[in-house]
Amino acid sequence: MSPLLALFWVLVGIALLVVMNLKYKFHNIFALLIAGIFVAIMEGIPLDKIVTVIQDGLGSILGHLALIIIFGAIIGKFMTESGASQRIADNVIERCGTRFLSVGLMFIGVIFGIAMFYEVAFLIAMPLVLNIAKKANIPYMKLVVPTVVGATMGHSLFPPQPGPVALISAFNADIVQVYLYGILVIIPALFCAGILLPKYLPGIKAIPLNSLMKPVEEKTAQDLPPFSISILIPLIPAVLMIVASIIKGLMPTGSALVKVCIFFGSAEISMLLATLAAIWFLGIKRGMSAEGVTHCASDAIAKIANVLFVISAGGILKQVIVVSGVGNHIVDIMSHVPLSPFIVAWIITAIIRILTGQGAVAAITSAGIVAPMVGAFHLNPALMCLAVACGSNTITLMYDGGFLLFKETFGISMKDTFKTWGLLELINSVVGLGMVLLLSLFIA
């Protein structure tokens, strides 16, 4: 099969996925499964091998990300119930003052985005933002935008979130490099989308708040956990991963210390330790009973079950693409295109994100397509991770979950949603890609 024909069937499969989602309202799991089977057949994968490919694709993502997503949901739940999220917000805002309020809220957004699944971070942060806007007498959307900018970038670029973890695994990237280069990528994106956009966006002050969402009833300072505990718990995984990666690079391979670091620095174990810390410090130590802890954890898991399986189903199409060799065909085609491989990877991911409305699914699917480029063009795997991550965090349409969550939360019009959510995502994505391209000039 020619490279162009192989790529054509992948595009037809993605189009089929979009039609099933939009026109016929198929559940994402069924749509992804059917699209995956269709592409597998058209790419010439033998019928007796397709079920195995489906199992491998579903299992690879479910096995790799299930615990991470579950632990992230539990941490988010305990941070909400204990008031840890409020403590972080209060402390940051107190230190920033009114003048630098947007910067403080972006910082909160990044922390929440790294620590929790995006929808969880959004729903926890927004009532706090409405409270702050009311107290400071500032148009609410001027504070919403920087908070969401931080949350989307933190969620898209940094482990232990599922998309970045899957990309690091697919490209065999160094996690310390992903964090270090990610910081350089995120700062200009935060400035452009979180500071400049709200400042110069016409009509932002007049966007009405028509939702039923109310500012949260704040707990008194005496009822909140300490700031040090509140901020440390969501950062435990990042700290353990970075420390483990640094020690692994300094110590002889196979030493006992390296083995211990690899164990504790893994995404699953570091998230488990953060979850146990949240249960102890934000739950049991604050008087929560064993039954209360179990109920809190069960409630958190129940709310993200659908998200977990949709992301895992995204692995089906990715596995079909890998097994069929479409990624290698893409490399053949792109070797004749006068564009940076990072731009190509970004475009592929952005198109999949726009068509499917799922950031993590777009990142995972794109990884299967562009992974061969890393070796073929001798690219830095960490920079490729960030390019794909930026592509998965781009402008979205009205069927995207993030778009609808933003629109319905504030009860705003489609036009105002495109003007705020749409623009902030597009700026995030394009500026992030620009920084990746700039870094690629200096980093091999």
The string of pLDDT tens digits covering residues 22-45 is 688 788 788 889 988 998 999 889
SS3 213: coil
Residues 185-198, buried b or exposed e (16+ Cβ, 10 A)?
Answer: bbeebbbbbbbebb
Domain for residue 236, yes or no?
yes
Give the per-residue pLDDT at 49: 92
pLDDT at 186 over 80: yes
pLDDT at 213 over 70: no
Greater model confidence, 161 or 272 = 272
Low-confidence winner among 110-114, 277-281, 285-289, 355-359 (lowest mean pLDDT): 355-359
Give the per-residue pLDDT at 216: 55
Greater model confidence, 299 or 128 = 299
Retrieve residue 40's tokens.
């597998």
pLDDT at 298 over 90: yes
Give the tens place of pLDDT for each residue, 302-335: 877 777 787 778 778 778 877 887 766 766 676 6
Give the per-residue pLDDT at 324: 81
Domain for residue 293, yes or no?
yes
Low-confidence winner among 66-70, 203-207, 211-215, 240-244 (lowest mean pLDDT): 211-215
Domain for residue 225, yes or no?
yes
Roughly what angle, to the nearest 10 degrees, separates helices 341-356 and 326-334? 130
Retrieve residue 68's tokens.
């991470």
Q: What is the extent of the structural domain holding 280?
A: 6-441
Domains in the chain: how many in total? 1
Q: How many CB atoms lie within 10 A of CB 148?
A: 31
Question: How far apart are alpha carbons 127 and 25 in whole angstroms?
Answer: 31
pLDDT at 215 over 70: no
Residues 94-104, buried b or exposed e (16+ Cβ, 10 A)?
Answer: eebeeeebbbb
Give the per-residue pLDDT at 272: 92
Question: How far apart are alpha carbons 417 and 423 in whole angstroms?
Answer: 9
pLDDT band at 397 (very low <50, low <70, confident <90, very high): low
Domain for residue 406, yes or no?
yes
Domain for residue 1, yes or no?
no
- Mean per-residue pLDDT of the chain: 84
Question: How far apart are alpha carbons 213 and 167 in whole angstroms?
Answer: 35
Question: How far apart are alpha carbons 16 and 220 in whole angstroms?
Answer: 52
Please name the amino acid found at residue 259.
K
Retrieve residue 216's tokens.
């949260």
Question: Do the beta carbons of residue 284 and residue 293 sit within 8 Å?
Answer: yes
Low-confidence winner among 149-158, 222-231, 288-297 (lowest mean pLDDT): 222-231
Give the per-residue pLDDT at 359: 79
69-78, 145-154, 393-402: range with highest mean pLDDT: 145-154
- Using CA atoms in the order 214, 227, 246, 180, what is the torsion angle rounded to 10 degrees? 50
Give the per-residue pLDDT at 356: 63
The pair phi, psi for residue 312, each rounded to 5°, is -65, -40
Model pTM? 0.73
Q: How many CB atoms lie within 10 A of CB 44?
A: 11
Give the per-residue pLDDT at 293: 93
Question: Do the beta carbons of residue 367 and residue 61 sit within 8 Å?
Answer: no
pLDDT band at 247 (very low <50, low <70, confident <90, very high): confident
Question: How far apart are alpha carbons 418 and 197 in whole angstroms?
Answer: 13
Give the per-residue pLDDT at 211: 62
The percent of residues in the chain predicted with pLDDT above 90, rounded, is: 29
Retrieve residue 298's tokens.
């069960």
Give the per-residue pLDDT at 239: 84
Tokens 């061969």, residue located: 372
Give the per-residue pLDDT at 93: 76
Cα 297 → chain centroid: 22
Question: How far apart are alpha carbons 109 and 104 in whole angstroms?
Answer: 9
Low-confidence winner among 229-233, 362-366, 438-442 (lowest mean pLDDT): 362-366
Give the per-residue pLDDT at 290: 92
Question: Do the beta carbons of residue 75 and residue 234 sit within 8 Å?
Answer: yes
DSSP code per residue over 52-120: HHHHHHHHHHHHHHHHHHHHHHHHHHHHHHHTHHHHHHHHHHHHHTTTTHHHHHHHHHHHHHHHS-HHH
Q: How many CB atoms lie within 10 A of CB 255?
A: 12
Strands (E), 155-233: none
Question: Do the beta carbons of residue 85 and residue 112 sit within 8 Å?
Answer: yes
Query: If you average pLDDT over residues 256-278, what whole number do you get?
Result: 88
Give the tens place of pLDDT for each residue, 136-146: 788 889 999 99
Q: How buried is residue 311: exposed, middle or buried, by Cβ count under 10 Å (0-12/13-18/19+)?
A: buried
Domain for residue 33, yes or no?
yes
pLDDT at 52 over 90: yes
Low-confidence winner among 13-17, 47-51, 154-158 (lowest mean pLDDT): 13-17
pLDDT at 196 over 60: yes
Greater model confidence, 302 or 342 = 342
pLDDT band at 406 (very low <50, low <70, confident <90, very high): confident
Greater model confidence, 410 or 200 = 200
**214 Cβ contact list (under 8 Å, min separation 6):** 127, 130
Question: How far apart are alpha carbons 139 and 160 in whole angstroms?
Answer: 33
Query: If you average pLDDT over residues 65-73, what whole number do you get?
Result: 81
C-alpha dist (Å) from residue 361 to 110, 167, 314, 335, 381: 21, 11, 5, 26, 19
